[in-house]
């Protein structure tokens, strides 16, 4: 094994057995499945992604993209397209009842924030889920990977070193064709009613929010202005909200409430028009077409503490479902997918330790529990009007809904050589990585004002430009060649491609990108950056740590290790990489 590990992943692939090189099968092409597929393809891992629906899913559904998700999209390279397609969150407009035409109050969903140096995206974006998914698919297509529609996972068997899946494809004539498919791993990103969780025999624990009947629908309405997210009533009683989507006359209906009777409501124009009129008093709102319709009781559900079994993993709604209050469901699923992708990619290349693979559940399950508590508190608090969730939740640039505060400080695969500086109570519910000292397990913050000495582009860069889902980025904060060489030589023991060494020189270091420096930093590491304005040294608290620090940023943008020497580097990678 030792000799195997010295080789590049592509060389390793030639040595290992066929079943290991079989693609990873992803069941479900919702946001979780698509993000996972894209990140795996960027890692050079073959993927087959299937969806049982004959057409791509239509509908606005989860439209709020939170700041942490925007950061993941940045690392995946899809952010520019997402920003172009999306808008800023609209203002809510609440109407007086009865009557329904007089404005009672208007309010923003989120107060707008100036970006911070370490948090470049501090404003959520709004984008209908079907468009979001189309953007993700267009990027996946660049890797020659298309979603296979009309293709359902029926069953599977975990054979220990591979998975055999039973897949059923519906032809255009409606005839079904079954196939046995050999995959190296299977991921159930197959949503709330997924078969994968079911077949694994994992209980979905939780409960319905008693008495909360909800209606979600995409409709066409003629003649209603789109400036606002229109709202009548409250969930404690009866509520209808209408948000205009990207497509002019198409509106997203989210309605429901404890006093709402939806038993006779049907997904057709007359019934919907009547229902909206009953709740809002507005006879002028005419539904001309119903594109999607769903009516059900809200629940919160999650698998207990394991998101995987053997070679089979769960991500997104397949593992946990949330109420729409606070808009966290899809964002959590994307976060699962991003967290799983680098692990599966290393596993596929036979480089992942057992501990790394089990840490997926260890990290995600407590986060999801916390998230469900947060969103339940929002949903059940009758003093918070629908849409005012963010306004009621404290500092506007540190909102828990942004998911920027989540950290994995307690994770079994984190190494903190400076643990004594950790504040007490840094468990899964512990808060924030802003304000306090940044610790291993935290979200790796951004920093602007860096010049890349390795390239010939002298424009200022941000650290985020160097974070990618394909490799660890070891930020080596030092200006001592001895210390740098010790870090780099420890990093060279790590199999090829897993980590990039990046020396970050202080702004005072005597190097300039355009001249021959006294020390050629560029030949000593994969990449050399100069922290011209000192922001990187500042936000990573290098001074407080006494300098010469290695901060190892994982491919998912969280800090895997903060260590002082080569032994610390080795200790971290012993946890991550298979022995």
Ligand X SMILES: *[C@@H]1O[C@H](CO)[C@@H](O)[C@H](O)[C@H]1NC(C)=O
Ligand Y SMILES: Cc1cc2nc3c(=O)[nH]c(=O)nc-3n(C[C@H](O)[C@H](O)[C@H](O)COP(=O)(O)OP(=O)(O)OC[C@H]3O[C@@H](n4cnc5c(N)ncnc54)[C@H](O)[C@@H]3O)c2cc1C
- Residues engaged in binding ligand Y (CB under 6 A): 27-33, 50-53, 57, 61-62, 129, 152-153, 189-191, 194-195, 216, 254, 294, 316-317, 324, 327, 329-330, 333
Q: Minimum distance between the CB of residue 338 and ligand Y, rounded to whole angstroms?
A: 12
Least distance from ligand Y to the Cβ atom of residue 190, Å:
4
Closest CA to 377 of 401, 409, 407: 401
SS3 of residue 64 by DSSP: strand
From ligand X, ligand Y, none, which one binds at residue 516 (CB under 5 to 8 Å depending on kind)?
A: none
H helical segments located in 409-527: 481-491
The partner in contact with residue 189, picked from ligand Y, ligand X, none with C-beta cut-offs of 5 to 8 angstroms by kind, is: ligand Y
CB of 291 to ligand Y, least distance (A): 12
> Minimum distance from CB of 455 to ligand X (Å)?
4
Vertex 403 angle, CA 400 and 406, to 5°: 90
CB 514 within 8 A of CB 458: yes
Contact present, 411 and 441 (Cβ < 8 Å): yes
Separation between Cα atoms, residue 442 and residue 436, nearest integer Å: 11
Measured between alpha carbons, how far is 9 from 13 in angstroms, rounded to an integer?
6
Closer residue to ligand Y, CB minimum distance, 129 or 411: 129
384 binds, among ligand Y, ligand X, none (CB under 5 to 8 A by kind): ligand X
Closest CA to 405 of 417, 389, 421, 393: 393
The dihedral over CA atoms of 398, 403, 404, 406, expressed in degrees to the nearest 10, equals 110
The distance of closest approach from Cβ of residue 33 to ligand Y in the complex, given in angstroms and rounded to an integer, is 5
Give the nearest distance from C-beta 296 to ligand Y in angstroms: 8
Task: Output 384 or 418, the one with its CB closest to ligand X.
Answer: 384
Among ligand Y, ligand X, none, the one that 190 touches (CB under a kind-dependent 5 to 8 A) is ligand Y
117/75 Cα distance (integer angstroms) = 17
Nearer to ligand Y, 236 or 295 (CB): 295
In the set 56, 159, 392, 492, which binds ligand X (CB under 6 A)? 392
> Residues 246, 111: contact at Cβ < 8 Å?
no
CB of 271 to ligand Y, least distance (A): 17
C-beta of 383 vs 425, nearer to ligand X: 383
Q: Which of 264/456 has CB closer to ligand X?
A: 456
Task: Indicate whether 523 belongs to the interface with ligand X (CB under 6 A).
Answer: no
Partner in contact with 61, chosen from ligand X, ligand Y, none, beta carbon below 5 to 8 Å by kind: ligand Y
Residues listed for the chain? 579
Q: Report if residue 381 touches ligand X, rule: CB under 6 A.
A: yes
Question: Nearest to residue 334, comparing CAs of 39, 49, 45, 69?
Answer: 69
Q: Which is nearer to ligand X, 17 or 382 (CB)?
A: 382
Give the span between the Cα atoms of 131 and 128, in whole angstroms.
Answer: 6
State in angstroms the smallest separation of the CB of 65 from ligand Y: 10
For ligand Y, the closer CB: 329 or 469: 329
Q: What are phi and psi for residue 556, nearest 5 degrees?
A: -95, 10
**377 part of the interface to ligand X, by CB under 6 A:** yes
Is 135:81 a contact under the CB 8 Å cutoff?
yes
Residue tagged 């799983």 (tokens): 340
Question: Which one of 2, 3, 178, 383 is in contact with ligand X (CB under 6 A)?
Answer: 383
Q: Which helix (H) or strand (E) holds 506?
A: strand 499-506
Contact partners, residue 486, CB within 8 Å, separation at least 6: 565, 566
Contact mark string toward ligand X, 453..472, x via CB under 6 A: --xxx---------------
- Name the site residues for ligand X (rule: CB under 6 A): 377, 381, 383-384, 392, 455-457
């Amino acid at each position: 094994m030792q000799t195997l590990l010295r080789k590049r992943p592509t060389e390793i692939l030639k040595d290992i057995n066929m079943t290991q090189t079989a693609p990873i099968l992803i069941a479900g092409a919702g946001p979780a499945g698509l993000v996972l597929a894209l990140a795996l393809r960027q890692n050079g891992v073959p993927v087959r992604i299937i969806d049982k629906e004959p057409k791509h899913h239509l509908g606005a559904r989860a439209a709020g993209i939170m700041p942490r998700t925007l950061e993941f999209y940045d690392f995946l390279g899809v952010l520019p397209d997402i920003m172009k397609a999306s808008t800023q969150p609209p203002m809510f407009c609440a109407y007086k009842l009865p009557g329904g035409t007089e404005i009672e109050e208007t309010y923003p969903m989120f107060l707008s924030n100036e970006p911070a140096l370490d948090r470049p995206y501090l404003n959520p974006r709004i984008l209908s889920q079907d468009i979001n998914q189309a953007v993700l698919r267009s990027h996946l297509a660049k890797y020659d990977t298309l979603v296979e529609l009309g293709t359902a996972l029926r069953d599977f068997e975990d054979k220990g070193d591979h998975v055999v899946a039973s897949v059923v494809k519906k032809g255009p004539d409606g005839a079904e064709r079954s196939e046995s498919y050999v995959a190296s791993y299977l991921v159930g990103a197959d949503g709330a009613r997924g078969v994968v969780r079911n077949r694994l025999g994992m209980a979905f624990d939780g409960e319905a929010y008693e008495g909360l009947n909800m209606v979600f629908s995409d409709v066409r309405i003629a003649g209603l202005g789109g400036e606002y997210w229109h709202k009548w009533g409250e969930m404690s009683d009866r509520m209808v909200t209408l948000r205009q989507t990207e497509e002019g006359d198409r509106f997203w209906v989210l309605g429901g409430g404890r006093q709402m009777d939806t038993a006779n409501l049907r997904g057709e124009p007359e019934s919907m028009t009547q229902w909206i009129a009953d709740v809002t008093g507005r006879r002028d709102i005419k539904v001309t077409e119903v594109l999607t319709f769903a009516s059900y009781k809200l629940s919160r559900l999650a698998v207990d503490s394991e998101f995987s079994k053997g070679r089979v993993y769960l991500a997104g709604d397949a593992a946990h479902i949330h109420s729409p209050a606070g808009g966290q469901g899809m964002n959590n699923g994307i976060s699962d997918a991003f967290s799983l992708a680098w692990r599966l990619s290393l596993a596929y290349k036979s480089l992942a330790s057992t501990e790394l693979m089990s840490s997926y559940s260890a990290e995600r399950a407590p986060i999801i529990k916390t998230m469900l508590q947060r969103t339940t508190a929002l949903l059940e608090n009758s003093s918070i009007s629908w849409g005012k969730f963010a306004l009621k939740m404290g500092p506007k640039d540190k909102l828990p809904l942004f998911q920027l505060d989540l950290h994995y400080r307690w994770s079994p695969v984190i190494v903190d050589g400076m643990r004594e500086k950790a504040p007490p109570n840094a468990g899964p519910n512990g808060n924030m990585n802003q304000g306090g000292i940044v610790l291993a397990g935290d979200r790796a913050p951004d920093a602007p004002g860096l010049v890349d000495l390795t390239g010939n582009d002298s424009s200022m860069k941000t650290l985020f430009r160097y974070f990618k889902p394909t490799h660890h980025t070891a930020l080596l904060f030092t200006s001592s060649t001895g210390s740098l060489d010790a870090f780099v030589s420890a990093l060279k023991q790590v199999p090829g491609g897993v980590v990039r060494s990046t020396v970050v020189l202080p702004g005072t270091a005597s190097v300039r990108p355009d001249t021959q420096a006294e020390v050629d930093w560029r030949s000593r590491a994969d990449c050399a950056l100069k922290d011209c304005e000192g922001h990187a040294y500042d936000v990573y608290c290098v001074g407080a740590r006494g300098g010469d620090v290695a901060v190892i940023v994982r491919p998912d943008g969280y800090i895997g290790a903060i260590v002082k020497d080569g032994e610390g580097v080795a200790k971290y990678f012993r946890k991550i990489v298979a022995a």
